[in-house]
Amino acid sequence: MKFAIMVNEGVYQHQATDSAFQFAKAAIEKGHEVPRIFFYHDGVYNASSLTEPPQDDRNIVSRWQKLAKEHNIDMVVCIAAALRRGIKESNLAEGFRISGLGQLVEAGIQADRLVVFGD
Amino acid sequence: MGEEMTEATGGIDFEDEEASGVVKKFMFVNRKAPYGTIYALEALEVVLISAAFDQDVSLAFLDDGVYQIVKGQHTKAIDVKNFSPTYRALEGYDIEKLYVEKESLDQRGLTEDDLLVDVQVMSSAEMAKMMAEQDVVISF
């Protein structure tokens, strides 16, 4: 099955991003596909290259990067949500791309399921 | 059409999309108050973009989400834009299926007359049935 994923909350503040990651990982391990993950609301902070968590904690940004690279996942950050929160090309982590909300609607159309993680 | 890829289509080149011709039932579920958090405003931005995709779009309002479409919103004192007039404009985008949960209205002492758009009021059970019929449910 093709799962599209939407992440609506920021890093470390909220469980949503962790749950989304665990879901994506588990789905792929079970043989499903995750063609696209869309980051919206505070979820855009998942794509900040400036994130520096303490060494003994999980690194949410690099964890996404690794998963996306290994499984060819298109990680899209909403441009409007990103700009109003100070995420732009200059501080966008590698492996993410900035685009419009149409990418979310398109993911909903193309995937078998769209799973939303948020408050 | 690539060069016409504008904000209105949210970064999508429509040539591929039109060829696919898939029409899915999209429901946007609005559960939160219009101010206090940005969920309602950013949800509305998604709804407006979805109109460009010729999908079967509906909106559901429940819990504090019913406050999003209450008449007479005044936001000057909190220095936040009053975006409630945009709900009236949805009709112009052919988004006319607006569903409101009756229990949510009742619990807040509201009736259909308090709302600024024409809606279909339904019970929680009817709302659940409506949700079960959707292909894509995005909850805000």
Contact (CB<8Å) B11/A102: yes
Q: What percent of chain A lies above the pLDDT cut of 70?
A: 100
Q: What is the rounded distance in angstroms from the CA atom of residue A102 to the CA atom of residue A76?
A: 11
Q: Describe the strand order of the beta sheet including A74-78 as a list of residue ranges.
A: A96-99, A74-78, A33-39, A2-7, A113-117
Please name which of B93, B74, B70, B91 lies closest in space to residue B82, comparing C-alpha atoms.
Answer: B74
Q: What is the residue whose two structure tokens read 């501080």? A: A91
The whole-number pLDDT of residue B85 equals 97
Confidence of residue B4 (pLDDT cuts 50, 70, 90): very low
CATH of the domain at A83: 3.40.1260.10
Spatial contact of A4 and A114, defined as CB atoms under 8 Å apart: yes
Contact (CB<8Å) A101/B10: yes
Q: DSSP for chain B?
A: -GGG--GGGTS--HHHHHHH----EEEEEE-S-SSSSSHHHHHHHHHHHHGGGT-EEEEEE-GGGGGGGBS----GGGT----THHHHHGGGGT--EEEEEHHHHHHTT--GGGBSS--EEE-HHHHHHHHHT-SEEEE-
Confidence of residue B1 (pLDDT cuts 50, 70, 90): very low
- pLDDT tens across A31-65, in order? 999 999 999 999 999 999 999 999 999 999 999 99
**Residue ranges in chain A whose pLDDT is less than 70:** none
Predicted structure pTM score: 0.93
Looking at residue A46, what DSSP letter applies? Answer: G
Contact (CB<8Å) A79/B24: no
The whole-number pLDDT of residue A28 equals 98
Q: Is position A109 annotated as part of the catalytic site?
A: no
Let me know if B113 is exposed, middle or buried by CB neighbors in 10 A (0-12, 13-18, 19+).
Answer: exposed
The whole-number pLDDT of residue B15 equals 59
Domain count for chain A, please give it: 1
- Using beta carbons and an 8 Å cutoff, which residues of B are at the interface with A? 7, 9-12, 17, 20, 22, 24, 26, 38-39, 42, 45-46, 49-50, 52-53, 55, 135-140
- pLDDT tens across B37-56, in order? 999 999 999 999 999 999 99
Q: What is the rounded distance in angstroms from the CA atom of residue A106 to the CA atom of residue B7?
A: 15
Confidence of residue B99 (pLDDT cuts 50, 70, 90): very high
Q: Given B11, B26, B140, which is nearest A99 (Cβ)?
A: B11
Domain that holds residue A10: 2-117
Q: What is the maximum alpha-carbon separation in chain B?
A: 50
Contact (CB<8Å) A106/B26: no
The whole-number pLDDT of residue B3 equals 41
Instruction: For residue A23, give the 3-state DSSP assignment.
Output: helix
Q: What percent of chain B lies above the pLDDT cut of 70?
A: 89
Angle, CA of A21, A96 and A41, to the nearest 5°: 65
Topology given in CATH for the domain delimited by B23-139: Hypothetical Protein Ychn; Chain: A, (3.40.1260)
Chain B: closest CA distance from residue A104 (Å): 8
The whole-number pLDDT of residue A84 equals 97
Let me know if A112 is exposed, middle or buried by CB neighbors in 10 A (0-12, 13-18, 19+).
Answer: exposed
Instruction: Report domain extents, chain B.
Output: 23-139
